[in-house]
Amino acid sequence: MSGKVLALSGGVGGAKLAFGLSQCVAADQLCIVANTGDDFSHLGVAICPDLDTVMYTLAGLANAVQGWGLEGESWQLMSALDRLGGETWFRLGDRDMATHLRRTALLAEGLSLERVTASLCRALSVEQTLLPMSDDPVRTQVHTTQGWLAFQDYFVRQQCAPQIDAIRFQGIDSATAAQGFRQALVDPALSAIVICPSNPFVSVDPILALPDVREALIGHAAPVIAVSPIIAGAALKGPAAKMMAALAMPVCASAVAAYYGDLLDGFVIDNADSSERSAIEALGLPVLQVNTIMRSTEAKIALAADCLEFAASLS
């Protein structure tokens, strides 16, 4: 495929497709924008879970079994902290902690999160452009019977157990999309925009909710395609399906397509969802039906290649 590719990503689901894309597109032609709504400050350090999942995945350092953090990690810090009565509900490996310490130090020197991320990526030999969606703090919160909870409290500490009835992104109205993200959106060489199979409500929505982003995608000359994170009525991981049910949406791929609505030019569903095709086509959206389960390196690359070919066919 010729031209630049922009991918919008959360953590695990997004990182898998981002990796696939990195194997199909020259490094200087691929820009990945990651959600920062999950970011938080914890134990005195700045943690950016989705940025780090994508960064570690592109660097070939990700722990594939765990789905987050680094391969071959050690946990001395957590054990020592536990012994001292410190908070250990958010697991931070020893080497992972170095990332957060370095990020925190660079932010304290006054660098933007975009520049800090570039610096970390350079150090880990990630050649693609990885950007935070914004340099400004945006914090996802979910409303439950316990009131508003910070995202990591809900997601990690309480393992998504509380029932959710609303989601908000604190700080979104005064946040601006990162400079590199804004530039990518107006780059005449941009030829495809791929919304990765990430959680639509807490991974993709924060990116789309930034001022002017949704409008830019709707009016964009390059095709915008999304890969469904819902396969056969379920999420492969995480609370996406539960959130759909809580938000009174049917739990199926076509509901995700309808949710993204008019910003899409095409939608990618899994082979298991052939029964969803007509409902998506009825929305006026071309459908690509392929294997979207990315268990192996080959599957990630194949899905990325399929997405690029599909986008090219739509432009």
In the window 5-24, what residues touch Ca ion (CB under 5 A)? 10-11
Q: What's the token pair of residue 304?
A: 């990325």
Compare residues 145 and 296 and give the one whose CB is closer to ligand GDP: 296
Binding of residue 229 to Ca ion (CB under 5 A)? no
Q: What's the token pair of residue 243?
A: 């959130």
Q: Shortest gap between Cβ of 196 and ligand GDP (angstroms)?
A: 6
Partnered with residue 230 across adjacent β-strands are 235
| Binding partner at 263 among Ca ion, ligand GDP, none, C-beta below 5 to 8 Å by kind | none
Compare residues 140 and 228 and give the one whose CB is closer to Ca ion: 140
In the window 25-84, what residues touch ligand GDP (CB under 6 A)? 50, 53
Binding of residue 93 to ligand GDP (CB under 6 A)? no
Residue 159, by phi and psi: left (phi above 0), alpha (psi -120 to 50) or beta? left
Are residues 7 and 18 in contact, defined by beta-carbon separation less than 8 angstroms?
yes
**Residue 118 CB contacts under 8 Å (≥ 6 apart), including other chains:** 129, 130
Interface segment toward ligand GDP; rule CB under 6 A; list 8-16, 84-92, 124-132, 139-147 = 8-16
Binding of residue 114 to Ca ion (CB under 5 A)? no
| Binding partner at 20 among ligand GDP, Ca ion, none, C-beta below 5 to 8 Å by kind | none
Are residues 152 and 36 in contact, defined by beta-carbon separation less than 8 angstroms?
no
**Residue 215 CB contacts under 8 Å (≥ 6 apart), including other chains:** none
Are residues 235 and 241 in contact, defined by beta-carbon separation less than 8 angstroms?
yes
Compare residues 38 and 219 and give the one whose CB is closer to ligand GDP: 38
What does the chain come to in residues?
Answer: 315
Compare residues 117 and 228 and give the one whose CB is closer to ligand GDP: 228
Contacts with ligand GDP, residue ranges (CB under 6 A): 10-14, 16, 50, 53, 197-199, 203, 227-229, 231, 235-238, 240, 292-294
